[in-house]
Every structure is written in C-alpha cells, then in structure tokens.
Amino acid sequence: MLFINTNLSALGAQNNLNATDSQLQNIVSQLSSGLQIQTAADNPAGYAISQSLQSEINGYGAAISNSQTAVSVLQTAQGAMNQQEAILQQANSIATQAANTTTAANTTAANADNNQFQALITQLDQIAQSTTFGSVSLLNGSNAVLTFQVGPQDVSNNQVAVSLTTTTSSALAVTSLSLLSVTSAQAAMSAVQSAIAALASAAASIGSSQNQIQALSANVTVAQQNLTAANANLVDVNVASATSQFTSLQILEQSGVTVLSQAQQIPQLALKLI
C-alpha cells in the first residue's frame, strides 16, 4: 500500500534504527567503562548482588589493614619486651655476682654493683612507660586488652583480643631491691629470675597472638581475592563478546540508515500514479 501522508515503512525503519542506536550506545558505554553493570537499571538483581559483594570486599580490605596494624603493634611490644629481658638478664648477672661473700664484703664493689643494678631497674621502667603505638601505651598497664577487628563482620571470630602484661618494675616485683648484702643480693636474684620468667611468658603470649592474627590475615586475603573475582565476573564486561556485539550493531546501524533513506523515497512512487 502506498501513502503520501504516512510512510509506514520509514517509521518502521526509524524505530529499528533507534533501537539499534540505543544498544550500540550501551555497548560503547560498557567498553569504555569496562563494566557491564554500571547502574541498577542495567541489571537490578545483578546490581544488588554486586553491591553486597563490594561491601564484603571493602570490609575484607579494612580487616587486612587492621591485621597489619595489629602485627605492627605486637611487634612493637615484643621488641620492647626483648630489651627488658636483656636488662633483667644483666641485672640477674650483677645480683648473682653481688651475692658472693667476698664481693659483698668489699663496700666499694657492693656499692658499684648496687648502683648499676638500680640503673637497670630504672631503664626497665623507662621502656615500660615509653613503649607506645601511636597514642596507645602498651606496657605500662594503661591498656590491659587490645581488641583487633580482623574480619569484615561484627562477630567474635572476626575479632582478636590480646592481653597486655604490665612490665613496670613494680608489676614485675623488682622494686626496693638491694645488693648491699649477701642476703639482699640473693633475694634480688630470686626476684629478677621470677621477673624474667614472667616476662618470657608474656612475650610468648604476644607471639602466639601475632601468629594467630597473621594466619587470619592470610585467610582474609584469600577470601577477598575470591570475592573480587566473583564480583568481576558479575560486573566486568566481556571485552571479546562486547566487541563482537559492537561490530554487529555498527553494521546494523549502517544498514538501518541505508534502509531508512530508501524508505523515505517510497511516497514519491505514489506521486507517479497521479
């Protein structure tokens, strides 16, 4: 049928061309962004799933950062404890030396040993008071427990609580000691040796917590990688497939333009009948 006022063929060709152009714009947008889901309109269900996955991925990323911070904190505490252990070992050697009768009988030697011993105990307190991570004191008793969020969820197995032992001289029971007599030096030996054992136990506990956090961090890292891969499969564009569609739609668009141009000539055929 031939009409002059209404060109049904041209309208049909134009509608098809518009649809092709819309698809082509979408493919161009996907290829330029690298994403097949850019807004909720592209794939409502997929978009919701992607946002949920991204939330978990971000949570895992923060947990990994927290784990690294936790390890740094514990390493700082351990390093300070190692220095304190070295100080106590030296103090034990001096106390053992002072417990010898001939040493104690020599006033000059006894005073020298006692002064050195007291200086070491002072160093012990200086380390305990000055060991901090940021503004958090680690060994002076200000913070008995540190809680680290090493997972993406607010559940107990995503958190690690680390107990911190106070390592001041008073907490280790090595204050008010003297090396000025054999008896007092022997008492100092016992006190220092007990402090060494207590400090070693505390350091071992810190080391165990550090190993636990590092293991959890490794597990969280793998989980984040797996979720990232899953999210990429959902939202990232398949370049090979999209490129193929792009080429096909380009051909359709060119064909549509040609057909529309031809369809617009149809009303002229009706004029030849007049």
Strands 145-149 and 136-137: unpaired
The pLDDT score that the predictor gives to residue 237 is: 75
pLDDT digits (tens, 9 = 90+) for 49-59: 888 898 889 99
137-to-55, 119, 163, 165, 233 alpha-carbon distances in Å: 33, 23, 13, 11, 45
The pLDDT score that the predictor gives to residue 105 is: 67
Q: State residue 6 phi and psi, 5-degree precision.
A: -125, 120
Q: Does the pLDDT value for residue 170 go beyond 70?
A: yes
pLDDT, average across residues 3-20: 70
93-to-79, 90, 186, 188, 192 alpha-carbon distances in Å: 22, 5, 11, 11, 10
- Neighbouring CB atoms inside 10 A of 255's CB total 14
Name the amino acid, one letter, at 148: F
Distance of CA 225 to the CA centre of its chain: 13
pLDDT, average across residues 111-129: 96
Residues near 213 by beta carbon (within 8 Å), at least 6 away in sequence: 67, 70, 71, 74, 148, 150, 160
The mean-pLDDT minimum among 29-43, 167-181, 192-206 falls in: 29-43
Rounded mean pLDDT of the chain? 86
259 against 61, higher pLDDT: 61
pTM: 0.74
Nearest partner of 180 among 244, 228, 243, 118, judged by Cα: 118
pLDDT digits (tens, 9 = 90+) for 130-160: 999 999 999 999 999 999 999 888 888 889 9
Q: Does the pLDDT value for residue 116 go beyond 90?
A: yes
The pLDDT score that the predictor gives to residue 5 is: 60
Q: Does the pLDDT value for residue 207 go beyond 90?
A: yes
CB 210 within 8 A of CB 75: yes
Q: Does the pLDDT value for residue 86 go beyond 70?
A: yes
DSSP character for 7? -
The mean-pLDDT minimum among 31-45, 111-125, 148-162 falls in: 31-45
Q: Does the pLDDT value for residue 76 go beyond 70?
A: yes
> 46: pLDDT confidence band, cut at 50, 70 and 90?
confident
58-to-65, 239, 246 alpha-carbon distances in Å: 11, 26, 33
Q: Which of 31-35, 109-113, 270-274 is modeled with the greatest confidence?
A: 109-113
pLDDT, average across residues 12-34: 73
92 against 10, higher pLDDT: 92
The pLDDT score that the predictor gives to residue 125 is: 96
Nearest partner of 83 among 46, 35, 127, judged by Cα: 127
